[in-house]
Structure 1
């Protein structure tokens, strides 16, 4: 009796469902789990066993997957060769751009990429969403103080070196909501470091709120931050919770990319 095959994934006419499913299976492999059996992949993917078997057989034929002596699956060398070639040409801006686009599209607000510098957080890229608000004063090349706005603050929270250099008793108040008291700021930063993200509301620009997450390098040091900013009234309730989730996910995924980059 023929075993039924799952229908193709939903999408436009140009989307090949079988390829998407094969990609989903490849994504299961990682440093923490380099080898999978057929039964394990079937359970983890939610696909039926016949579909998984046929997709993995195709990937083996293509040279992307190998079988172990025990009959399990592992990623083959061409995947690493292609990945290494791509990573060698990648920088933080090109790595972050797709995630910035996702955030700008999802929420309609502006996505920012900032990197640490001695004089402050430098905005090296931004992508505006569909909303009409343009945040005045934050452009590519803008240098911002570390103790205000979500992107700079989340870098300050995750970097002992930046804290030692930046936190002093004479921090300027950019708005009446900027935290300048050292003890209060340190407590605020400790909470951000523990949570893994920062929230800001009118501490840099009145009426503007933002969510930021850190991007870390191989040694755990801060190399950048990704954030989304817009009207403060849009950063509330379920919408805020979703922004936090997606910004944190973007930061984590870019971190994994940056940590995979070859040293050079």
Structure 2
């Protein structure tokens, strides 16, 4: 029996409905009822009722046998962003950094073993991975993720590492758990993370923590670019000071958010 099964306050129908929504993604924008049932582990009868409800509410559209998310689904994410006014402060800062460095700049938060991009500005690089708002990426293999993971207590880092898959995305990807834990220690000590071609062959990124006025890490700011355009030394000498300065400028406005 799972903890949810023994929790009288846990709403299973809500959990199943959210699972149906999460079945859709960049690689599966359209799904049949059977597809959703397979991806969620729910019966076709249950999936049919949830899809019908989501269609009636305007969150899902249907074309023949295929279902897809509708723009109204963005209301759910916007409710989160609009409830956190720090993003109103961060977005102009991202645009400023992106303009000065001529690179993509993003902010994100940690969610389990993934990072979620919640704000973004700048040029669109030709890369395979998505960095748009709402994009979810593996925390252990991104600069943003390593910054946020390094802010956790060591035992919490180890617990999350034990839950993570560690595929070799490129020949440069760190996949050894001991090396990853050592890398997080380094990031915690130096206060920034540089990930060079680990997630995608041509991508380099640098991240720093964004702290609120109480010193808590509430997010991470990153810049990223094609490795053919910028190298690690340039990221450290030009991008790192700009990101640190931006975070220091933002901190007074963050009060006790986090």
**Shorter-chain TM-score range:** 0.5 to 0.7
Query: In angstroms, what is the RMSD of aligned CA positions?
Result: 2.5
Residue number in structure 2 paired with 1:55 = none
Name the larger-Rg structure: 1
Matched, 1:248 2:244: yes
Structure 1 residue ranges, 4+ long, deviating more than 4 angstroms after superposition = none
Residue number in structure 1 paired with 2:220 = 225
2:138 counterpart (141, 145, 167) = 145
> Structure 2: how far apart are the matches of 1:218 and 1:164?
27
Change (3 A) 1:165 1:208: same
Instruction: Give the unaligned 5+ runs of structure 2.
Output: 1-82
**Within 5 Å, which residues of 2 pair with 1:1-264?**
91-129=85-123, 133-136=125-128, 137-160=130-153, 163-168=157-162, 171-233=166-228, 234-238=230-234, 240-258=236-254, 260-261=255-256
| Residues matched between the structures, number | 172
Q: 2:218·2:257 contact (CA, 8 Å) conserved in 1?
A: no
2:140 aligned counterpart, secondary structure: coil
1:257 aligned counterpart, secondary structure: helix
Change (3 A) 1:121 1:162: farther
> Structure 1: how far apart are the matches of 2:105 and 2:235?
16
Deviation of 1:162 (Å): 5.0
Q: 2:211·2:217 contact (CA, 8 Å) conserved in 1?
A: yes
Instruction: Give the unaligned 5+ runs of structure 1.
Output: 1-88
2:125 aligned counterpart, secondary structure: coil
